[in-house]
Amino acid sequence: MPPGEKLGWVVSGVAVGSRGEVYVLHRGDREWPDAAELDMSPIAATTVLVFDGRTGALLRRWGANQFALPHGIAVDDRDHVWITDLAYQQVFELTADGQLLRTIGERGVAGTDGAHFDRPTKVAVAPDGAFYVSDGYRNSRVVAFGPDGRFLFAWGSKGSGPGQFDLPHGIALDRRGRVYVADRGNARVQVFDRSGRFLAEWKGSGYGRPFDVAVAGDGSIVLADGGDIPARPPDRSSIVVVRPDGRITERFARFGLYDGQLFRAHALAAAPGGAIYVGDASGRIQKFRP
């Protein structure tokens, strides 16, 4: 960061573009609201910062006065950037330098139909341009859209059974068309096909409480275990690497504020070369190499 500047306390999202650029989403000094109603005023700070993944140098920034409570960020195969906003109840598609291309959802209006969200958390984009939204803090569902932005279908409801959710907080797609959802409240990952058919559940102490999910270049699935809220000592926060069949192959990092430790892993991204970037609820982002 430039001298005198710092990221907001929660680095809510991180994504990697095709050229290895790292997109970091934060909220400046906007705090998580205690009240039921969310602050609709735009955040004055630049909420998206783009860094060189190799050197960590800041390349560009944008997003000032554009979002009210941004949550998740994703970058598709065209280097288009997708951001969800909990307060605005919308999903935004933007260029790599922040020019708005498309908006899905009605500003500030919650709903359960195909034209509305209720605090959406993240987007995953398929190679054909179709996209899936984890929706979210209140709707407990996944919503599928076609490449043209047309609503296709949705699945999920509040609960702990197969295909139900308790805060779907992160979502990712692999090249085989599997949809991975970080079902945070249920402390599990659920796996579906692109039609929403339930395939598998990954749950247990080894997986922790997944806040986010990403697909690595070798096909491995990477999970951000953010620990429990509220924290219960001894708390944990770590990264879990899983094979597509659900077998855990690696777990690294632990709870703490030193380098290599995580206070609360909120978001992650896997780069093609194997590096993993983790956005933490300690106002920082860390890079891990294989």
Return the pLDDT at 68.
Answer: 98
Closest to 173 measured CA to CA, from 234, 235, 130, 207: 130
Burial 188-197 (b: 16+ CB within 10 A, else e): bbbbbebebe
Q: Is residue 39 part of a domain?
A: yes
pTM of the model: 0.97
pLDDT band at 36 (very low <50, low <70, confident <90, very high): confident
pLDDT band at 35 (very low <50, low <70, confident <90, very high): confident
Return the pLDDT at 1.
Answer: 87
Coil, helix or strand at residue 99: coil
* Each residue's pLDDT tens digit, 141-185: 999 999 999 999 999 999 999 999 999 999 999 999 999 999 999
Return the pLDDT at 233.
Answer: 64
Taking residues 8-36, report their average pLDDT: 93
User: Residue 124 is which amino acid?
Assistant: A
Q: Is residue 3 part of a domain?
A: no
Q: Is residue 6 part of a domain?
A: no
Per the structure, the complete domain to which residue 41 belongs is given by 11-288
CATH code: domain of residue 258:
2.120.10.30
Return the pLDDT at 232.
Answer: 67
Q: Is residue 30 part of a domain?
A: yes
Return the pLDDT at 235.
Answer: 79
pLDDT for residue 190 is more than 80: yes
Number of separate domains in the chain:
1
Residue 215 structure tokens: 């697909």
Rounded distance between C-alpha atoms, residue 80 and residue 270, angstroms: 17
Taking residues 8-16, report their average pLDDT: 95
* Each residue's pLDDT tens digit, 118-146: 999 999 999 999 999 999 999 999 999 99
* Each residue's pLDDT tens digit, 220-278: 999 999 998 876 666 789 999 999 999 999 999 999 999 999 999 999 999 989 999 99
Taking residues 11-34, report their average pLDDT: 95
Q: Is residue 221 part of a domain?
A: yes
In the predicted model, what is the mean pLDDT of the chain?
Answer: 96
Rounded distance between C-alpha atoms, residue 256 and residue 237, angstroms: 8
Return the pLDDT at 73.
Answer: 98
Coil, helix or strand at residue 160: coil
Q: Is residue 46 part of a domain?
A: yes
Closest to 148 measured CA to CA, from 129, 135, 133: 129
